[in-house]
Amino acid sequence: MGAPIKRLELSEEETTALRLLAASGTTQQRMAVRARVVLSAAEGLSLQEISKRTGLSVNACLKWRKRFAADRFEGLADEPGRGRPQSITQEQRLEVMALACTKPLDGSTRWSMRKLADAVGYSVSTIHEILNAGDIKPHKVKHWCGKSPDPEFASKQTTIIGLYMEPPVNAIVLCVDEKSQIQALDRTQPLLPMRPGQPKRLTATYKRNGTTCLLAAFSVHEGTIEGRCVDSTNHTNFLNFLKHLYRSTPGKELHIIADNLSAHKHKDVLSWVEKRRRLSLHFTPTYASWLNQVEIWFNIFTKDVLKGGVWRSRQALVSQIMTYIRCYNEQRAHPFKWTYEGKPLSS
């Protein structure tokens, strides 16, 4: 029986720094492999197991384990004479990476390359090289859906998805919501049209010609849109829209999906709905309005109509919106195809 394997002891800070170094896909690969050797040694793996995991020889694994045990991070650096000598140590690089992951104290939300360079005394190009090696991008932000605090999340979600996937016989499923405060913006100078080599150009200065609110109902299984422009978002306009949808679908069981806006849950709305046998109102879970498919259509509508639009009056805006809805129903309407297959998101 061989001698027992001696586990390499690491501090919490060393473990964090080594994992950062080993996980980066753009750092110097020899440094990443050496970091993985040390992390494996800290797990108590034998030299043979570390060799299989990292692809290095047993002797090389022994060398880097000994050097880190003796000199910590300095031991992972190349010895003098191999390659161009580094003017910045590995610890200094890790300090820059760690600083880039914090919030600046000057009130800014994130670090820029210039701010980091000024803070640590390196050149902008050096900062860029360090962050690029660590695959750190302070300028990028990813959004994700946080966990809903709604205790009825599972049941509400199941009901809504059930209506999407297997609706009751003789039923219509409509996703309803408002897009409020749509501004009829005109520009202070005439629009310069697009031409070869130049995009459409608008002045940065504008004038407001009023606002409108779009009430929209997306038919989940037909893909059509029913729309109405109103002056404001309130329970009266929402209730009137529900009454219109109810009257326009005689003899059909109507399922309305809406979010938790106070206008949707007003006592007058709920009282009217309770008296309608063939109408059911379903609310999305808290912070989960993304379950409402009309939000997908609103995204299409915003890109097609609102982005870069110019209107000389509120009526011109309303007219364009209603024309777009009519043409969308005639030419493009189709149910949205689901692509998510229920696989858990990677952490």
pLDDT (tens digit per residue) in 154-176: 999 999 999 999 999 999 999 99
Residues facing residue 185 across a β-bridge: 208
Separation CA 252–CA 246 (nearest Å): 9
Specify the range with the lowest mean pLDDT, choosing from 32-36, 63-67, 338-342: 338-342
Q: Which domain holds residue 72?
A: 7-78
One domain, residues 318 and 174:
yes
**CA-based nearest residue to 181, from 217, 214, 147, 224:** 214
Q: Which pLDDT belongs to residue 1?
A: 46
Q: Which pLDDT belongs to residue 347?
A: 42
**Over the stretch 215-258, which tens digit does the pLDDT of each residue have?**
999 999 999 999 999 999 999 999 999 999 999 999 999 999 99
Separation CA 54–CA 316 (nearest Å): 66
Q: Which pLDDT belongs to residue 58?
A: 84
CA distances (Å), origin 191, targets 49, 302, 305, 309, 333: 68, 20, 16, 10, 31
Which band of pLDDT confidence, cut at 50, 70 and 90, is reported for residue 28?
A: low
CB 72 within 8 A of CB 91: no
CA distances (Å), origin 157, targets 19, 154, 290: 38, 5, 11
Each residue of 281-305: b (16+ CB within 10 Å) or e? bbbbbeebbebbbbbebbeebeeeb
One domain, residues 308 and 229:
yes
Separation CA 148–CA 288 (nearest Å): 7
E-only strand ranges, 220-347: 225-230, 253-258, 279-283
User: In the predicted model, what is the mean pLDDT of the chain?
Assistant: 87
Which band of pLDDT confidence, cut at 50, 70 and 90, is reported for residue 266?
A: very high
**Over the stretch 200-222, which tens digit does the pLDDT of each residue have?**
888 888 899 999 999 999 999 99
The residue among 142 and 235 whose pLDDT is bigger is 235
Separation CA 106–CA 4 (nearest Å): 53
Give a yes or no: residue 198 inside a domain.
no
Q: What is the mean pLDDT of residues 86-107?
A: 86
Specify the range with the lowest mean pLDDT, choosing from 34-43, 159-168, 299-308, 330-339: 34-43
One domain, residues 324 and 243:
yes
The residue among 108 and 302 whose pLDDT is bigger is 302
CB 104 within 8 A of CB 113: no
Specify the range with the lowest mean pLDDT, choosing from 23-27, 44-48, 160-164, 258-262: 23-27
Q: Which pLDDT belongs to residue 4?
A: 56
The residue among 164 and 13 whose pLDDT is bigger is 164
One domain, residues 35 and 103:
no
Q: Which pLDDT belongs to residue 228?
A: 96
One domain, residues 208 and 229:
yes
Q: Which pLDDT belongs to residue 178?
A: 96
One domain, residues 214 and 325:
yes
Q: Given a cut of 90, is residue 147 above it in pLDDT? A: no
One domain, residues 136 and 178:
no
CB atoms within 10 A of CB 61: 28
CB atoms within 10 A of CB 271: 10
Q: Which pLDDT belongs to residue 345?
A: 54
Q: What is the mean pLDDT of residues 113-135?
A: 90
Give a yes or no: residue 99 inside a domain.
yes
Q: Which pLDDT belongs to residue 215?
A: 97
Q: Given a cut of 80, is residue 3 above it in pLDDT? A: no
One domain, residues 231 and 303:
yes
Q: Given a cut of 50, is residue 288 above it in pLDDT? A: yes
Give a yes or no: residue 148 inside a domain.
no
Structure tokens at 167: 């609706």
Q: Which pLDDT belongs to residue 326?
A: 97
One domain, residues 315 and 183:
yes
Read out DSSP for 313-345?
SHHHHHHHHHHHHHHHHHHT--PPPP---SPPP
CB 317 within 8 A of CB 179: no
Q: How far from chain centre, in Å, is Cα 312?
A: 35
Total domain count, the chain: 3
